[in-house]
Amino acid sequence: MISEYRRFIKFGIIGTSGILVNNFVLWLLVEFSGLPFYLCSFIAIETAILNNFLLNDAWTWADRKSGSKIIRFLKYNASTAFSSLFINISVLMFFKEWVGLPYIISNLIGIGFGMLVNVLINHYWTFGDYKLKQFLGAGKDNKP
């Protein structure tokens, strides 16, 4: 059984690759596609989500797979839709539009805000067999 510390390190390494993918695709689309900025951000995030899912599924939570890969991907995408799409884009737009930071810096700040939520949701829901009540503390008598 993998230690949770090692799992978090693996998640961080893969998350770093996702940051690189996200920022590269965002830059590529903003600079060369002519698409609206928010659409470029959405596409970049979804590309990073796919990258991160495939790597996390094969490495970080390889010992905790249950159900089909498609179902795990849908759960992963749903969980990261909140942390990546909602949090990341909201923070990105705030820092870009209201604070006036460059879009790449704003994107990095948005990624940081979503990271902790993302790791917890994926640990307990996407790749775990834990129930929501256990995650919220109501199931303290249950084995983690």
User: How high is the pLDDT of residue 66?
Assistant: 77
Domain that includes residue 67, residue range: 4-135
User: How high is the pLDDT of residue 12?
Assistant: 86
> What is the pTM assigned to this prediction?
0.74
Total domains present in the chain: 1
Examine residue 141 and state whether it is found in any structural domain, yes or no.
Answer: no
User: How high is the pLDDT of residue 24?
Assistant: 98
Examine residue 140 and state whether it is found in any structural domain, yes or no.
Answer: no
User: How high is the pLDDT of residue 2?
Assistant: 67
Low-confidence ranges of the chain (pLDDT < 70): 1-2, 128-144
Examine residue 142 and state whether it is found in any structural domain, yes or no.
Answer: no
Q: How far, in Å, CA of 74 to CA of 126, rounded?
A: 9
Examine residue 144 and state whether it is found in any structural domain, yes or no.
Answer: no
User: How high is the pLDDT of residue 129?
Assistant: 59
User: How high is the pLDDT of residue 21?
Assistant: 97
User: How high is the pLDDT of residue 105?
Assistant: 95
Q: In angstroms, what CA-CA distances link 141 with 65, 105, 124, 130, 144?
A: 24, 43, 16, 13, 9
Closest CA to 118 of 73, 84, 90, 75: 84
Examine residue 63 and state whether it is found in any structural domain, yes or no.
Answer: yes
